Amino acid sequence: MQLKDFSSHKSVAKLASLARTPHDLTAVDGLTAQRIEDYAVSFCGFDLLYGTQRVTPEVIDALQQLADEAGLIDAFLAMKEGEVLNRIEGYASENRQVLHTASRDVFTERPREPKAAAKAKEQLAKLHRFLEGVDNGSIANAQGHLFTTMVQVGIGGSDLGPRALYLALQRYCRPGRSARFIANVDPDDVAAVLRELDLSRCLFNVVSKSGTTLETLTNEQLVREALLQAGLNPAHHMVAVTGEGSPMDDATKYLASFHMYDYIGGRYSATSMVGLVTLGFALGVEAVRALLEGAHAVDLAAEERDIRKNVPLLMALLGIWNHNFLGHATIAILPYSQALARFPAHLQQCDMESNGKSVTRQGNPVTWQTGPIVWGEPGTNGQHAFYQLIHQGTEIVPAEFIGFRHNQYGIDLEVQGTSSQQKLITNMLAQSLALAMGKDDTNPARRFAGNRPNLVLIADRLTPSTMGALLAIYEHRIAFQGFCWNVNSFDQEGVQLGKVLATRLLGLLTDQGQSARDDSLEKSLLRRSGML
Ligand SMILES: O=P(O)(O)OC[C@H]1O[C@H](O)[C@H](O)[C@@H](O)[C@@H]1O
């Protein structure tokens, strides 16, 4: 699979010329009822409304041409079939397949990559056996009491996705079950979580793909120590998820060990054992199955070549239109669902670690913009915080609204004639319109320029299967953009340098600075910070 430079596609010149006069959403008839109908698509339980983007049929056609010229669907198919796409040609790189989709390709007789799908099934079967034991009490604490809480210890991809999914689906927890998360090497993160728990009823799930992450290994020791101090045997309270053959892959230290594989990137690992062990414990195996089914349905539907019918592909190209052609540097993910509170944080890693790159797959410097800055918080809270800048600031922030027609708990009340859910979703739709249309006013401080591109993704209810679909929509949006920019979206070299320097500084603390000259940069910094 040879991907070409973004700037080499004919459609790029066409789009650049179209971008000189983008659709004016503030004009008379700039945003009409017909436009809402015309720019809408239903996909795997979601409706995408994108009439509030600055596009015309001509722009969409040119974006389609870009998708075709850049071979985005072929690259996606090659990814799912196991081509080694995590590489930089001619340079040392991870040289791995990219097969997070195999972790949910477990429902058909003919998976796209049979070996990886078979391993996924093997791990799922192991998880089912383990959870059966936890349910029937054959796996219990020393007193024979059932476990009630699973604490996931991990960071980055071993925390953000699983935590976001757990919070999204907490409403479906099995009675008497819950999960907690410890990520930061800040000792207060561990202390604050542990002080709330009855350790004798807890299982600790230590998750690290590499098995070498400083934060996670340190926190594992803190947890072991806490268990010992409580008179408990760590080996009876700890499970592990790690890469096959990693330094953590030692079954004797854990009650159970699960594997993930080098072809699943940390930030794409939520539907592997990295996410499923804790989710399975808290929500049960049926919910896990529904989550995987939701994601798998999107994996299949995202093979569609027509961008008007393929939501992740369309979102990828609308993002490219806003970022590369209209020049908007960031995007805001704004879920109108409190359960999705940590979903923007997960997407932040998924997107920024994937597409925050400056060299092509051939190792050449890029001459076009790559990944945008991604951020966001749930609405309506955000409306009372940072929306001022989104409406009237000098930085235009394309917004992505995510909402659900029904709430999760079924508890709601009509106040002043409308339910809270109605208030929530009408606020979301109103924001979408306000950003697009703006408002003129004789008072300049009360003028809204409008033309702030945004889209709305709406589904019936946030369930395990909807969550799986939403996760996969974003994962593929990110991968399609990476293919289009011709970057390797699956490595993360950019996080190494800081780790190396931290190790050097820690070395100076342990030897009291003996290994460095007194006037060394590192020693001065430590001294001036009061650490040495
Ligand atoms: O799962 P682990 O190997 O412990 O890695 C945890 C995280 O650490 C790294 O710094 C990477 O940037 C992330 O992509 C990864 O998810």
Are 246 and 208 in contact by the 8 Å Cβ rule? The answer is: yes
| Per annotation, catalytic residue among 196, 384, 395, 414 | 384
State the distance from the centre of ligand 1 to the C-alpha of 464, rounded, in angstroms: 25
For ligand 1, mutation pick of 86, 158, 269 (most atoms within 8 Å of CB): 158
Q: Which of 10, 309, 406, 499 is catalytic?
A: 499
83 Cα to the center of ligand 1, angstroms: 23
216 Cα nearest atom in ligand 1: 4
Domains of the chain with CATH codes? 6-95+302-491 (3.40.50.10490), 105-293 (3.40.50.10490), 494-528 (no CATH)
Taking alpha carbons only, the member of 180, 170, 118 closest to residue 147 is 180
Q: Beta 418-419 vs 414-415: how paired, if at all?
A: antiparallel
What whole-number distance in Å separates Cα of residue 344 and Cα of residue 250? 34
Residue 209 annotated among the catalytic residues of the structure: no
Q: Atom 8 in ligand 1: which residue has the minimum CA distance?
A: 156
> Catalytic one among 220, 353, 400, 475?
353
| 499 included as an active-site residue | yes
Structural contact between residues 211 and 247, judged by C-beta atoms closer than 8 angstroms: yes
Are 316 and 202 in contact, with CB atoms under 8 Å apart? no
Instruction: Return the residue matching tokens 């996705």.
Output: 161
- Atom number, ligand 1, closest to the C-alpha of residue 269: 16
In the reported structure, the alpha carbon of residue 494 is separated from the centroid of ligand 1 by a whole-number distance in angstroms of 12
If one counts every other C-beta atom within 10 angstroms of the C-beta of residue 473, the result is: 25
> Alpha carbon 490 to chain centroid distance?
13
Kindly report the pTM of this predicted structure.
0.98
Closest residue by Cα to atom 10, ligand 1, is 495
Determine which residue's CA is closest to atom 14 belonging to ligand 1. Answer: 266
Between the CA of 154 and the centroid of ligand 1 the distance, in Å, is 9
The one-letter code for the residue type at 456 is: V
532 and 508 in contact (C-beta within 8 Å)?
yes
Residues in the chain: 532
By C-alpha distance, which of 355, 300, 343, 354 is closest to 457?
A: 343
Q: Which protein residue has the closest C-alpha to ligand 1 atom 2?
A: 208
Q: What is the pLDDT of residue 516?
A: 86
- Pocket residues: Cβ below 6 A from ligand 1: 155-158, 208-210, 213, 216, 266-267, 353, 492, 495
Mutate to test the pocket of ligand 1, among 242, 272, 492, 499 (most ligand atoms within 8 A of CB): 492
For the complex shown, is ipTM > 0.90? yes
Q: In this structure, what token pair is assigned to residue 329? A: 């540097």
Tell me how far apart the alpha carbons of residues 40 and 51 are, in angstroms, rounded to a whole number. 7
Which residue, by CA, sits nearest to atom 9 of ligand 1? 156
Sheet strands (E) in 361-505: 373-375, 399-404, 414-415, 418-419, 454-459
The confidence score (pLDDT) of residue 43 equals 98
Q: How many CB atoms lie within 10 A of CB 493?
A: 12
Ligand 1 midpoint to CA 212 (Å): 9
How far is the centre of ligand 1, averaged over its atoms, from the C-alpha of 177 (Å)? 27
Ligand 1 center from residue 208 Cα (angstroms):
7
Q: What is the pLDDT along the chain (532 residues), one digit of tens a residue?
A: 789 999 999 999 999 999 999 999 999 999 999 999 999 999 999 999 999 999 999 999 999 999 999 999 999 999 999 999 999 999 999 999 999 999 999 999 999 999 999 999 999 999 999 999 999 999 999 999 999 999 999 999 999 999 999 999 999 999 999 999 999 999 999 999 999 999 999 999 999 999 999 999 999 999 999 999 999 999 999 999 999 999 999 989 999 999 999 999 999 999 999 999 999 999 999 999 999 999 999 999 999 999 999 999 999 999 999 999 999 999 999 999 999 999 999 999 999 999 999 999 999 999 999 999 999 999 999 999 999 999 999 999 999 999 999 999 999 999 999 999 999 999 999 999 999 999 999 999 999 999 999 999 999 999 999 999 999 999 999 999 999 999 999 999 999 999 999 999 999 999 888 888 888 999 999 999 999 9
Distance from Cα 209 to the centre of ligand 1, integer Å: 7
Contact, 158 vs 274, CB < 8 A?
yes
**C-alpha closest to that of 26 among 392, 439, 456:** 439
pLDDT of 515 reads 87
Instruction: Determine the residue of 213, 217, 241, 499 to mutate for testing ligand 1's pocket, defined as the one with the most ligand atoms within 8 A of the Cβ atom.
Output: 213
Q: Report yes or no: 57 and 39 within 8 Å, Cβ to Cβ.
A: no
Ligand 1 atom closest to the CA of 243, numbered from 1: 3
Closest among 386, 373, 402 to 311, alpha carbons compared: 402
- Grouping H, G, I as helix, E, B as strand and the rest as coil, residue 185 is coil
66-94 per-position pLDDT tens digit: 999 999 999 999 999 999 999 999 999 99
Say whether 132 is catalytic: no
